[in-house]
A and B are shown apart, each in its own frame.
Chain A
Amino acid sequence: MVTYVCLGVLILFVSLNSLSYISNRKKSPSFEEIDEQLISIVNGEAKRHE
């Protein structure tokens, strides 16, 4: 019984993780977006101080 529960949990775990990876793939930012985000954080703070 425990074996089947473990297998069930494992199937669920792998399925959910795989689906989560695949669905998050579209949300992945491009390197250009990361660059813009970093620059806006750094310069936004600098402007507040000026």
Chain B
Amino acid sequence: MNKKKPVTIRPFLQTKYSYEKLRICNHCKSFTVLWEDQCASCGKDALMPIHTKAKIKAKRSMRNELLAALLFTLVGVWFGRDPMQMTLCAIVGILLILLLWNVQRRMLPYVIPQEMESLIEDEEARIIEGIKHNRQTAISHLQNNEVMTYEMLREISTLVHNDRIRLQQVVLLQTFILRKDMDLVIEPLLLKDFDTDLAAYIGEISKVQRDLIKNQTIRYILTYEAQILEMEHGRDIMTGVAGAAVRMKKYVDSYPEFIRRYARYLPKDRFMRLYQLIRQHPEQSWGHLAEEVSRIHSDKYTQG
């Protein structure tokens, strides 16, 4: 029955900005978000982040301005009528070149984003084409290497935000045996609508990496609670999430009624965590949760 495979997923390199994943080939100008060393279009070893490309462009333009200023200075010196005029022209020219160089140096951090903006605007079609090509590459590995496909889709999804790519990742993740040491995520994969694979994935995550269960995930399973409960292991999924939620007081504060509904099914360690949390804060208003927890405690854990 269990067709899940043990796999090793390479860690995901998180960047502060999504654009940091995008690279341009300096030779053929095609774009990629994947990690290949050589450009998939021309085969050249010329891929660079768009920030680097913009910096090179900005510096080249600044260098050309300095060269133009130098040329004016040299022409002025060349046509000087006497040494006095030539010296004056050389001194003024050098001072102006230094002034321009200083302004350029100070303004470089502001020029680079402008260059990046114009690069993105000018190369819009190539960027979209590059990402389409990346998706085709990812799908082409589906038959022989599902892990590779998942890893590629994960990279692409830093820029492509839609339910289709999220669902493709969830479906692939559901074919893997998930472990504590894997670099997994939930919130970027949450769909707009209900999906059984996603619900099952959340249930598994609540067991192996409960730190990933946060507000958005709790809200998702609460929105589709009725559909989840219709699933074969629906109650286990809800209980798993409730068990993960009790790790932090803020979630118990925010969702006391949800936790109350599943408190009876919590494993002993999760229940005792909830019990201790409530006991440590007697002043807190928990609704019916405190009564229910106290009742379960006396029913299940105080006998013998």
Chain A residues close to B by CB (< 8 Å):
2-4, 6-7, 9-11, 13-14, 17-18, 21-22, 24-25, 27-35, 37-39, 41-43, 45-47, 50
Q: A34-B17, A43-B161 are in contact. Are A25 and B110 (CB under 8 A)?
A: yes
Per DSSP, chain A at the interface is helix
Q: Is B116 an interface residue (CB 8 A)?
A: yes
Are B17 and A22 in contact (CB-based, < 8 A)? no
* Residues in B lying within 8 Å of A, measured CB to CB: 16-19, 22, 65, 68-69, 72-73, 75-77, 79-81, 85-86, 89, 92-93, 96-97, 99-100, 103-104, 107, 110-111, 113-114, 116-117, 120-121, 124, 127-128, 131, 159-162, 164
Within 8 Å by CB of B17, from A6, A21, A35, A47, lies A35
Q: Are B128 and A7 in contact (CB under 8 A)?
A: no
Q: Is the CB of A30 within 8 A of B113?
A: yes
- Whole-angstrom distance between the alpha carbons of A25 and B89 in the complex? 31
Q: Is the interface of B mostly helix, strand, loop or mixed?
A: helix
Checking B111, B114, B128 against A45 with a beta-carbon cut-off of 8 angstroms, the contacting residue is B128
Partner of B113, one of A3, A31, A39, A43: A31
> Are B73 and A38 in contact (CB-based, < 8 A)?
no
Q: Which of A3, A29, A35, A47 is close to B81, meaning CB atoms less than 8 Å apart?
A: A3
Q: Can you list the 5 inter-chain pairs with the closest CB atoms, starting with the nearest?
A: A6-B76, A2-B79, A28-B110, A21-B107, A10-B72
